[in-house]
Structures are given as C-alpha cells and as structure tokens.
Amino acid sequence: MSDNTKNIEEKKDKFLAEENKKRIVTGPDGVQFEVDPLQDYFCDKRPVAKDPKNKVIENFLNWARAESLWVLGFGTGCGNIEIPPLLTPRFDAFRYGIQMRPTPRQSSVLIISGYLAVKTLKRAIRSYEQMQNPKYVLALGSCTINGGMYYDSYNTINRLDYYLPVDVYVAGCMPRPEALLSGFNKLKERIKAGRAEGANDYANKFDWYKANQKKIIKDWNMPDYNW
C-alpha cells in the first residue's frame, strides 16, 4: 500500500501541469507567499455517506427528487446527440420533470452517453464528484455496459460500474430518445423505491472505486476527492 502511494505521489509530480505546481508568488503589496493550487483550489476531504433517517419523510423527499431530475449537460460520446432531441417538441422531456443544468453542482443526474475514453473518464469522475448527494448515473449505450464495438480498444473503458456507481443502463447502439426516456422512468422508479443510493455507495466503497480509477488513469495529477 505504502509503495503504491509513493508511486502515485511520484506520478503526481511527473504529470502535474505547470499552473498547478507549488510556487512562491509575490502579491501586489510586495509580500511573498506560497501558493499550492492543489490545496487551495481542490479539496482532499473524503466523501461521507449520509444515510436517510426518517423513512416517511425520506419517501416524500424521494418522490420530489424523482420528479425533479436535473441533468448535467456533459456529453461524453457519440450518444450525446440523442440528448438534445429530448428537449424538442417531439419528445419534450420537460413534462417528466427533466431539466438541463449547466453546472455539476446543481445537477443530480449524470448521463454517460456512449463510449468513454480514459481521458474523458477523468473529466467525468471530476464532474461526478462535484455533484451533490443524492446523485444518479444513467449509462447510455452498449459501450458503457461491456465496451460495445470498442471492446478491444486501447483507450475505451469496458464497463462503467467499476468506476462510477451506475443506477440505470440503457442498452443499444445508440439508443433512441424514446429508450432514453424509458431509462429515465426506470430511474424514477428506482429513486421512489429508495434504491438509488449511488452517492452513498460511492462513499462507502470509495477505496475500491479509486483503485479502479487509478489503475487506468495513469496521469493521476489531482487530489483524490475534488469538489
């Protein structure tokens, strides 16, 4: 374990971008101070599982959460082309309480739309970790299930649930918007039944998820948990 940590520390230094390195900065008033962007801009706190307390209240809140799904507008693969039609008059996802949000902090659903390259996975993890508990992951397309047609690619992950807690898989290559809407309905059922506790699972099995992520993201140059 310690050897592994040391290895990662070394890698962190090797891959660290120039603007994220520790440095001495002279302020406008002439005072010199040290800047460590990794400490100042990110947070190293582990996620904490927050279990629901009162069952009756939680059921009511889950109903509200299920009917108000805010989707992070973050397109990861080819499947992202299926998301904009959801908002058009033909499919009109707004009537199911599905809305698009521009920022991870405000959204509760992360759609992984299609194949996920390692480079994109890194960004997807960062976006996921910035989202607030409770949060849900909807994985779209065969690529997220078993790699799909990219199962032997050098740069595309094979199964998403090793890196992020997935609530609903929508199979297909690519699934049509109708399939996506039905995936949203499945997600609603899951939330209302109180089974969509992905954020808490992620916090509880944090070490396992991080080990998997670090196995394939070789230039790990950010803190382990960054919001």
Partner 1 sequence: MNDIIVKLLWTLLGLFIVLNWGLLMGATMRKIVARVAHRYGIPFYQPWLDLIKLYSNRSSISHGVMFYLGPVFRLGGGLGIFLFLPLIYGSEHFSNFSWAGDLILILYFQFFGMLGMALGASDGGHPNSVIGITRGLGQFTTVEVPLTLAVISIALQYNTLSISEIVAAQQGGFQNWTLVTNPLATAAAMLSLLGLFREAPFNLVKAPNEVPIGPPTEYHSAFLGILRTNGALLHVVEAALFMNLFFGGATHWVEFIVKTFLVYFWSVFVGVVSPRFRIEQSVTWFLKIPLAIGILAVILYI
Partner 2 sequence: MKEIIQDIKKRFNCTDEIEQSKTQTYITVKKELAIALITHLRDIEGFTHLVLLTAVDWIENNQFQLTYMLNNPTKKIDIGVRVFINRETATMDSAHHLWEQMATYQRELKEMFGIDFPGSPRLNEPFILEGWDNIPPYRRDFDTLKYAQETFFPREGRETNDPAEFMKKKMYPDEEK
In the chain, count of helices (H) and strands (E)? 8, 7
Complex with partner 1: residue 142 or 190, whichever CB lies closer:
190
**What does each C-alpha distance from 153 to 26, 126, 149, 193 come to in angstroms?**
47, 23, 9, 37
**Which one of 27-35, 100-108, 113-121, 144-152 is the stretch in contact with partner 1 (CB under 8 A)?**
100-108
- Report the residue number, 101 or 186, with the smaller CB distance to partner 1: 101
Q: Rounded distance, CA 135 to CA 86, Å?
A: 20
Is residue 152 within the footprint of partner 2 (CB under 8 A)? yes
Query: Alpha-carbon torsion 185, 187, 189, 191, what sign?
Result: negative
Shortest distance in whole angstroms from residue 154 CB to partner 1 = 33
Enter the tokens of residue 71: 């989707």
Residue 157 or 222 having the CB closest to partner 1: 222
101 sits near partner 1 (criterion: CB under 8 A)? yes
Stretch that binds partner 2, among 23-31, 128-136, 149-157, 192-200 (CB under 8 A): 149-157
Could you say whether residue 213 binds partner 2 (CB under 8 A)?
Answer: no
Residue 35, C-beta contacts closer than 8 angstroms, at least 6 positions apart: 22, 23, 24, 25
Contact positions toward partner 2, by CB under 8 A? Answer: 11, 15, 117-119, 122, 145-147, 151-159, 162, 212, 215-220
